[in-house]
Amino acid sequence: IQGARVELIGSTEWLVRSTNPTFTDSAGQADWLLRCRESGRQPLAVTVDAQTVPLSVENCVDPGESTTTTDPGEIITPTTEG
């Protein structure tokens, strides 16, 4: 659905680094840039025009525990297609 209002909701351990709420694009998709502030499972959901849908995201990882060169605490949520 193009132009639908979508909003991320979750624990206070999520820092949304992009516009929230936002609107879906011409393909019916929306995306966000997030940073997780606490290791472990952090609930996250999206509300699309008053309907809330839980999202399945991987557990947050403490960047100090990782051997990768990227920051595993930052993820882009799955896009939401209407």
Q: How much is the pTM? A: 0.68
Looking only at the bridges linking them, the beta strands covering 22-23 and 5-10 are antiparallel
- pLDDT at 70 (0 to 100): 45
Residues 39/65, Cβ–Cβ less than 8 Å: yes
- pLDDT at 60 (0 to 100): 87
**pLDDT tens-digit series, residues 11-47:** 899 999 999 999 999 999 999 998 888 889 999 999 9
